Amino acid sequence: MAFAGLKKQINKCNQYVTEKMGGAEGTKLDLDFMDMERKTDVTYELVEELQMKTKEFLQPNPTARAKMAAVKGISKLSGQAKSNTYPQPEGVLGDCMLTYGKKLGDDSPFGVALVEMGESLRQMADVKYSLDDNIKQNVLEPLHHLQTKDLKEVMHHRKKLQGRRLDFDCKRRRQAKGKMKQQIVQK
């Protein structure tokens, strides 16, 4: 039984090589199907690029983004579910202004201005953290699910279809050769 499976794989491989190198023409697929395949390929590329660009948008500093990815990977390996958030530049600057504004004190107009600006920047950072969480939950997670589940399944079925088409073409070619031999023998 195992030999039959191996023979089928060899026949499909032979058919593939014959089509690619020998110029044999494979079964033509329906135009609608070919259009769906093209759209699937474009969707697959879109999801990959969209995820990458969204992460770049949320975390513009490439060094910090790489560090976050490395820490996340190490945390997964060690079994720790530590979730570090990207340090928003507004928040870092706001903390700096708050710290030094408080050190200067309330009697310094510059210190008061630093504290007010620092609080404003902290609020902006909080809004950006909220945006970050919202995009991760409502955009990136559904895209990741689409990529890892739905598109992966479609690609698997396309690969199976290609294998079945090659098997079909191989059997059809063998039948055609058999009919030609019969016609030659009958003559």
- H or E stretch including 100? helix 89-104
Where does residue 65 rank: exposed (0-12), middle (13-18), buried (19+ CB within 10 A)?
Answer: middle
Q: For residue 115, what are its two tokens?
A: 């504290």
pLDDT tens-digit readout, 146-169: 999 999 999 999 999 988 988 888
Where residue 75 falls among pLDDT bands split at 50, 70, 90? low
Could you tell me if residue 105 is left (phi over 0), alpha (psi between -120 and 50 degrees) or otherwise beta? Answer: left
Q: For residue 154, what are its two tokens?
A: 């479609």
pLDDT above 70 (res 3): yes
Q: What single-letter amino acid sits at 8?
A: K
pLDDT above 60 (res 81): no
- The winner for highest mean pLDDT among 28-32, 77-81, 114-118, 167-171 is 114-118
Read off the pLDDT of each residue in 55-81 and give the average, rounded to a whole number: 71
Q: What single-letter amino acid sits at 158?
A: R
Q: What single-letter amino acid sits at 48?
A: E
pLDDT above 70 (res 101): yes
Sign of CA dihedral 73, 77, 83, 87: negative
Q: Are 68 and 95 in contact (CB under 8 A)?
A: no
Read off the pLDDT of each residue in 23-32 and give the average, rounded to a whole number: 81
In a 3-state reduction of DSSP, which class is residue 107? coil
Q: For residue 79, what are its two tokens?
A: 């079994």
At residue 74, the pLDDT reads 67
